[in-house]
Amino acid sequence: MVHAIGLARDAIDTDALLQDVRRATQGMKPFTLTFDRPSIGTVAVEISGWPGKPFTALVDIVTAAMDRTGAASKAGPSRYPHISLGYTSTGAEELNAATLKTALASIDQPLSGTVLADRLHLVEQWHDGGRIMWTPVAVVPLGEAS
In this predicted model, which residue has the larger pLDDT, 132 or 112? 112
Enumerate the domain spans of the chain: 4-141
pTM for this predicted structure: 0.80
pLDDT > 90? residue 130 = no
What DSSP designation does 106 have? T
Give, in order, the Cα–Cα distances in Å from 61 to each of 17, 73, 128.
11, 16, 29
Q: Of 87, 3, 79, 9, which is closest to residue 43 (Cα–Cα)?
A: 87
What's residue 108's pLDDT?
92
Least confident of 42-46, 87-91, 141-145: 87-91
3-state secondary structure 4-71: EECCCHHHCCHHHHHHHHHHHHCCCCCEEEEECCCEECCCEEEEEEECHHHHHHHHHHHHHHHHHCCC
User: Which fold does the domain 4-141 belong to in CATH?
Assistant: Cyclic Phosphodiesterase; Chain: A, (3.90.1140)
The whole-number average pLDDT for the span 36-58 is 89
Q: Of 76, 75, 78, 79, which is closest to residue 58 (Cα–Cα)?
A: 79
> pLDDT-based confidence at 74, cuts 50/70/90?
confident
Q: Of 5, 122, 21, 20, which is closest to residue 73 (Cα–Cα)?
A: 5
What's residue 35's pLDDT?
95
The whole-number average pLDDT for the span 111-122 is 92
In this predicted model, which residue has the larger pLDDT, 40 or 73? 40
Handedness of CA 75, 78, 79, 82 (dihedral sign): negative
> Percent of the chain, pLDDT > 70?
91
